[in-house]
Amino acid sequence: MDNPNRREFLQQSLSALAILGGFSCLSAADNRLAVVIKGARSFFAGKWQTVDIGVTEAGTIEIGGGPLQGRTVIDCSGKVISPGFIDVLTDNRKGPFELCERYKLTDGVTAALSMHGGSSNAGAYYQAMAKSHHWVNYGVSTFATEIRSRPGTTPERLRKAEACLEEGALGVSYAVEYTPIPYSELLEYAKLAKKYDRSCFLHLRYSSKEKELDGVKEAIQLARDCGARVHIDHLHSTGGTYRMKEALELIGGAVKSGLQITCCVYPYSYWATYIPSTRFDPGWQQRYGITYSDLTVVGTGEKLTEASFEKYRKRWDVLVAIPDGVIPMESTVDLALKENYCMIGSDGGIESEPVANNHPRGAGCFATALRHGMDIGIPLEKMIEKMTTLPRSILLPAMKQRGVLENGAMADLVVFDPKTVRSPASVAKPNQFSIGIDTVIVNGQIAYRAGKLMARAGRAVRA
């Protein structure tokens, strides 16, 4: 018989090696996992490796130092496995949530977080969402823009915003261009974010060539004046459309000085928004260098005239896209993606079928970003970081167990084929599943596999 002391010594040695190397060294007999992914490459411990990735009964990750055994074994040879993608700018104002989440899931997203808009009553939001089953994890910010648009004094508004944070909202969001606000009041909302150790998400004040950098400077000033974590939404469409190089120099300088500032982009050369919004207030033709016939109704392809534009200005259910190429990728998105503080955020969500009135980013942002990043020479591991660990970093501590490939982390995982990954979503047909997304696991359950929706395992993410 084996010496018990020797067995104990070997077990302790294996455990020590597991801690040092980040691997699970349990024997196959003990390691009966729920799911095992075999053959896929992962960027783990600072390098690309091919190791078995297991999912425990509790829905957490086990990384194998050797072959792992499990009830369900998936051969993903030739593919890549990473943490599930985190979309900090999911936009789903009209619902249904099930539809929006379905397209997020099939784009590799495991956490669809509404940090651009959000809710003016976070407690009620989480209560309502808990009544349904979800394809992906969900969460919300304090929608200070909406709070301020309602009657009340500034102290009353701040109390409502703070109540949302106390009820678990993941941050504070404000769209300064859509609902202008004095800097002094905006600072008070940022101070709330700092008080609760949450991030402040900003749609900047200006989208014109002449003034866009003023919005960037304002965001930096907020971070400097109160020490809050500040995130700039879709910098290439608001803040860096015309002068991205200068905008990035401003942000980079602020980061080097110790301020906590990040930004995001989506990998498209055009934006879309609802016609009644302030972006289409008088003077929009001069601001963007376009006219009525350049606007396309998303989902139908209808080109606008002056008469139809004025008709749709009275409706909040019509989204129009500007022409492809108005935001040159080479001088905007591509420059931003080279910066370590820039992540991917969709600013979209599919809200209707069979004809979807939304930007293709609502269904295909992350697959498109992967394809585009690789096409312009950005290392795949850097693109994955911009979809996982970087967005996770601005949502700590709520996302502490997500967005990382570590033993014991929640098993939110995506497997994709780097050779084929892309999105067919277009302005004419934005509601299409992404291509090359093989398997998505949410909270340890296989939610999507080989083109089939399987399990609604999403949970609330709240602070």
Percent of the chain as helix, strand, coil, to the nearest 5: 30, 25, 45
Give the tens place of pLDDT for each residue, 231-258. Answer: 999 999 999 999 999 999 999 999 999 9
Q: Based on the domain organization, do 231 and 287 belong to the same domain?
A: no
**454 confidence band (pLDDT: 50, 70, 90):** very high
| 432 within a domain of the structure (yes/no) | no
When pLDDT is averaged across residues 152-162 and rounded to a whole number, the result is 96
pLDDT tier for residue 300 given thresholds of 50, 70 and 90: confident
Q: How confident is the model at residue 6 (pLDDT cuts 50, 70, 90)?
A: very low
Q: Is the pTM of this model over 0.75?
A: yes
Q: Does residue 67 fall inside a structural domain? A: yes
Residues 261 and 284 in one domain: no
Q: Are residues 287 and 350 in the same domain?
A: no
What pLDDT digit, counting tens, does each position of 33-70 carry? 999 999 999 998 899 999 999 999 999 999 998 999 99
Q: Which of 142, 140, 138 has its CA nearest to residue 120? A: 142
Same domain for 187 and 223, yes or no, is yes
- Is the pLDDT at 94 greater than 70? The verdict is no
pLDDT at 93: 66
Total count of domains within the chain: 3
- Say whether both 318 and 332 belong to one domain: no
Q: Could you write out the DSSP letters of every residue in 91-113? A: --SS--HHHHHHHHHTTTEEEEE
Note whether residue 409 is domain-resident: no
| Residues 245, 125 share a domain | yes
**Domain stops at, among 404, 429, 458:** 404
User: Do 216 and 359 fall into the same domain?
Assistant: yes
For residues 151 and 289, membership in a common domain is answered with no
pLDDT at 95: 62
The range of the structural domain enclosing residue 312 comes to: 272-324
- Among 78, 100, 115, residue at a domain's last position: 78
> Quick one: 299 and 333 in the same domain?
no
Q: Are residues 152 and 301 in the same domain?
A: no
Residue 101 lies in a domain: yes
Is pLDDT of 4 > 90?
Answer: no
What pLDDT is stored for residue 29 in this prediction?
39
pLDDT in tens, 313-339: 988 888 888 888 889 999 999 999 999
For residue 450, being part of any structural domain is answered with no
What is the DSSP track for 197-247? T-EEEEE-S--STTTHHHHHHHHHHHHHHH--EEEES-TTTTTSTTTHHHH
Per-residue model confidence (pLDDT) at position 47: 95
Strands 32-38 and 53-55: antiparallel
Checking if the pLDDT of 156 tops 80, the result is: yes
| 12-29 mean pLDDT | 36
Q: Could you tell me if 118 and 89 are in contact, meaning their C-beta atoms sit under 8 angstroms apart?
A: no
- Out of 21, 43, 78, a domain closes at 78
Residue 299 pLDDT: 80
Within a domain: residue 419?
no
Instruction: Tell me whether residue 9 is in a domain.
Output: yes
Angle at 221 between CA 216 and CA 223, to 5 degrees: 100
18 or 104: which leads in pLDDT: 104
Q: Kindly state the percentage of the chain with pLDDT values over 70.
A: 92
* pLDDT exceeds cutoff 50 at 3: no
Q: How far apart are CA 394 and CA 197, in angstroms?
A: 10
Are 166 and 100 part of one and the same domain? Answer: yes
Q: What CATH number is attached to the domain comprising 156?
A: 3.20.20.140
Statement to judge: residues 266 and 278 lie in one domain? no
Q: Residue 31 has what pLDDT?
A: 52
Over the chain, what is the mean pLDDT?
A: 91
Give a yes or no: residue 440 inside a domain: no
